[in-house]
Structure 1
Amino acid sequence: MPAFEPMQRLVVTIAIIASFVTFLDGTVVNVALPAISEDLGGGITTQQWVVDAYLITLSALILLAGSLSDAYGRVFIMRIGLIAFGISSVAVAAALDPLTLIISRAAQGAAGALLVPSSLALITAVMRGEVQARAIGVWTAFTTGAMVVGPLMGGLFVDFLSWRFVFLINVLPIAITLLLLSRLHLPEHPRGTRVDWFSGALCAVGLGAVVFALIEQPNLGWSSPAIWLPAVVGAALFAWFLLRQRRPVAPMMPLSLFRVRNFGWGNIATLFVYAALALNGFVVSVYLQQGAGLSATAAGLASLPVTVLMILLSSRVGSWAGRLGPRLFMTVGPLLMAVGALLLLTVAEDFSYWWQVLPSMIVLGLGLSLTVAPLTSTILGAIDEGHSGIASAVNNAISRVAGLIVVALLSTIVGGVLDLDGFHSAALVTAVLFAVGGVVSWIGIRRNPVEAAEQAQR
């Protein structure tokens, strides 16, 4: 197993912590939703908006952030993102009404969009081959672990302090990352290319309008102009955004990237796998409190086995995939997670975590450990270093859009109420999404021929 050089180790550490706060805030909120709703008012619609306001700006602006990272330098963009994320986190914690909270969450997502592509681009800029695969495996273990450990941390703060402290978790890691960045002397060559701000606006407004329609549709119905008009306008704006990406000069999301086989098919797999993860995370965190009657801390502890397995296995799996190729891992992992989702169908009115939820969490953790590092490494390894920032941004945008859409459709999926029947419906949809992700990987993913040749020579 290749060892990291000191500079590489520093880069990996910075990338992990910078991304950690973004992933953490995407999931830590799930377990706090019942407490937020009780304190500030609002039902499932408000809960959806608290999650999706963050995801809308994170998803829409992460593409713009990828362009900024390539144009002006990864470290510079990351530093701005860290400072803005800290300020917006304090604003979320201080919110006194749902509207202020939702606006602050949107600002937090915008700041987070600057962090993920620049952090992964740091890794891809200084590492290649098996070392890069291992680095991404380590990054994946901790950042995906943040997605899973978030509910536990959130539950502890909700039960013993306040939901507001959930959003102040970020302050210390942000300060540490800024300090580490001051020690990183990485040669950067900002290209100074023109950034397409107009396309960024089209993407953000288009996605936001469509998501508004999906979330509010159960309340107002599709016949209401307040629903169908934003849906139509939003879809048109997003289509305009895609048309602008066909231009040969400085597109925000170069569509030519999708002609690279592993990048294109890998992102399709990403869409299904991360939609399933987002749906599962939201539904399990909320139902275990509102349906099964667990405390916020207990609901957060429910997913701890997934975190432990991710930390133990992801780095190893990243190295294995670097040697053996990613296709098998990216196929078996999602199919295993589909089985884990189906195990949640055993949840009944007579609730038992140990027999009804724990087996699912173990199987999900194994499947997730097999999937995420090979998926990320395959997608980013398919693209040259000069486009690493935008490639990372596109992949992360797709994963966030997947979560954004599935949470917006939550009321439709669960039938309007997250009761036991709704929980079972969500488990079935989750399983189908995971399974499709596995099938897509088997059909489309192939081993990088350059890496295969290098491995054959060893």
Structure 2
Amino acid sequence: MSNALHVSCDAATARTAQGTRSPAYPRLVIATTILASSLAFIDGSVVNVGLPAIGRSFHADAIGLQWVVNAYLLPLSALLLLGGAAGDRYGRRRLLITGVLLFGIASLACAVAPTLILLLFARFVQGASAAMLMPNSLAILGQSFSGEAKGRAIGIWAATGAAAGAIGPVLGGWLIDAGSWRFAFLINVPLSVAAIVLADYVDRDVDDTAGSLDWLGGALVTAALGLATWALTEGSSRAWSPSTFVVLGTGLIFLLLFLSAERRLGDRAMMPLSLFGSPSFVGLTLLTLLLYGALGGLFVLVPYVLIQAGGYTATQAGAALLPLPLVIAVASPAAGALAAKVGPRWLLITGPVIVAAGFLLAVRIGSDRSYWLGVFPAMVVIALGMAGAVAPLTTAVLMSVDSHHTGAASGLNSAVARTGGLVATALIGPVIASSGPALLSAFGVAAAMGAVICSVAAASAATLIAPARKPS
């Protein structure tokens, strides 16, 4: 669900601000990018609703269910920047088609997977494919339109993505209730076919003058995140054994090697370290990691708890989350306009505080409370807080660095949002492993911890993000 809340990869439009041209079929270009990105938006929200059914089908334990989510988030987090750079180098249309094709094949593989291991492998391919199609779908809009037309196109893209993220859990839940969790993955197959057909109307582009890709950085950060995620998942769900600490330490070594490699590459790196010379950018990165981490963990747990402890059907659990995208869609434009007048800093402080209040309300979710007294108030308050943070966050990221680094900064911020969800999902094993009253108790503790994390995110914004400069 949280995927739909983050307008991903403004790096794309930043990189293609120059040299835009009018497409021959503008509506078909918009339709192509919407269909392609909707694959990732829908999949990221459908799977959360299907976790209980997947667990029953494969007799999976908590660790297995955590990896159903993280096998997708891991390559998406690690390779998102590399996917955007590959589009610059080899052609955004080509990368979009390749990503959509692989995503469709992987979705079909998920639907027919006979074992949990094969399902996890297919989910990993889905995540790697999403890292190709997501940045390049928006980059295509950036290169195809200019001026007001670009703004309208991106607005349509973002609104439709939010709608897809909202409809996904309900549609997926209905398919699960009507037949099987496997049907939920099949949603992606016709969408993939349609996107590939429509991609023929997107202008071809290849920039052979672009620099070489940071393959070493991509490999090192994937290894680092993979090892750290495994260690956190194993440690939180079972026990912190010596081998778990060894794996975690090895992951940290790979992270240090990644930072060393990025330092040597300078501005040619997938994550230029010069970005972190800005305290505001450091604060925004920390805020993104914490806020989206807390949100990502919650929205894996809420459908799971509603189904397992609240007696909800999968359809009802998906519908229970609808207030979040709907309120954000209505309130975000006003928050964006306010941020333009007063600057984003105060909204980035108050937004996470309001989200923290929503997390505290979520502690009350239980089997003995109705939806309107338990789930609904928490979803609305969290949505209001996120509406105050989503648009100002994008603005603040672009303001925190010089024009040469806007693409890298915004793309990195998007990747950090996914990484937050990855880490949070690795740590929720004790909740998923619980049942009955213990499940509700463990969920309450997790929601309270989420409130603390959101409060720390607000503190990082207050401490590190520079106040807006008054016009002279």
C-alpha distance 70-262 of structure 1, shift in aligned 2 (>3 A): farther
**Residue of structure 2 equivalent to 1:242:** 259
C-alpha distance 301-388 of structure 1, shift in aligned 2 (>3 A): same
Structure 1 distance, partners of 2:319, 2:78, is 32
Q: TM-score, normalised by structure 1?
A: 0.87
Matches within 5 A, 1:41-440: 41-122=59-140, 139-185=157-203, 189=207, 191-218=209-236, 220-225=238-243, 227-249=244-266, 250-260=268-278, 262-380=280-398, 390-412=408-430, 419-440=439-460
Q: Which amino acid aligns with 1:434?
A: C
Q: Which amino acid aligns with 2:326?
A: V
**Residue of structure 1 equivalent to 2:16:** none
Please give the per-residue CA displacement for 1:390-441, whole angstroms capped at 9, x wherever unaligned.
Answer: 4443122211111111110112577866611111111111212222223333
Structure 1 distance, partners of 2:454, 2:164, is 20
Q: Which amino acid aligns with 2:49?
A: V
Q: Which amino acid aligns with 1:267?
A: T
* Contact map agreement 2:62 2:433 (CA 8 A) in 1: no
* Contact map agreement 1:138 1:314 (CA 8 A) in 2: no
* Contact map agreement 1:218 1:416 (CA 8 A) in 2: no
Structure 2 distance, partners of 1:129, 1:440, is 34
How far is 1:315 from its partner? 4.1
How far is 1:88 from its partner? 0.8
Q: Which amino acid aligns with 1:172?
A: P
C-alpha distance 169-349 of structure 1, shift in aligned 2 (>3 A): closer
How far is 1:343 from its partner? 0.8
* Contact map agreement 1:137 1:315 (CA 8 A) in 2: no
* Contact map agreement 1:124 1:388 (CA 8 A) in 2: no
How far is 1:341 from its partner? 1.2
* Contact map agreement 1:121 1:388 (CA 8 A) in 2: no
Q: Which amino acid aligns with 2:126?
A: Q
Structure 2 distance, partners of 1:14, 1:278, is 27
How far is 1:81 from its partner? 1.1
**Residue of structure 2 equivalent to 1:31:** 49
How far is 1:167 from its partner? 1.1
C-alpha distance 88-360 of structure 1, shift in aligned 2 (>3 A): same
Q: TM-score, normalised by structure 2?
A: 0.85
Structure 1 distance, partners of 2:425, 2:300, is 8
* Contact map agreement 2:345 2:468 (CA 8 A) in 1: no
Q: Which amino acid aligns with 1:243?
A: S
Q: Which amino acid aligns with 2:314?
A: A
Please give the per-residue CA displacement for 1:89-147, whole angstroms capped at 9, x wherever unaligned.
Answer: 11111101111101110111111111222234445557799987776665444434544
Structure 2 distance, partners of 1:260, 1:124, is 26
How far is 1:320 from its partner? 4.3
For structure 1, which segment, 247-256 or 257-266, has the greater mean C-alpha deviation from structure 2 after superposition? 257-266
Structure 1 distance, partners of 2:150, 2:344, is 14
Structure 1 distance, partners of 2:280, 2:144, is 21
* Contact map agreement 1:117 1:390 (CA 8 A) in 2: no
For structure 1, which segment, 112-121 or 196-205, has the greater mean C-alpha deviation from structure 2 after superposition? 112-121
Please give the per-residue CA displacement for 1:126-179, whole angstroms capped at 9, x wherever unaligned.
Answer: 779998777666544443454444322221111012101111222233334334
* Contact map agreement 1:136 1:318 (CA 8 A) in 2: no
Structure 2 distance, partners of 1:76, 1:229, is 41
How far is 1:212 from its partner? 1.0
For structure 1, which segment, 361-370 or 67-76, has the greater mean C-alpha deviation from structure 2 after superposition? 67-76
C-alpha distance 393-191 of structure 1, shift in aligned 2 (>3 A): farther
Unaligned runs of 5+ in 2: 1-20
Kindly report the root-mean-square deviation, in angstroms, between the aligned alpha carbons of the 2 structures: 3.1
Identity of aligned residues (%): 37
How far is 1:6 from its partner? 7.3
Structure 2 distance, partners of 1:127, 1:342, is 43
For structure 1, which segment, 386-395 or 106-115, has the greater mean C-alpha deviation from structure 2 after superposition? 386-395
Unaligned runs of 5+ in 1: none
C-alpha distance 258-129 of structure 1, shift in aligned 2 (>3 A): farther
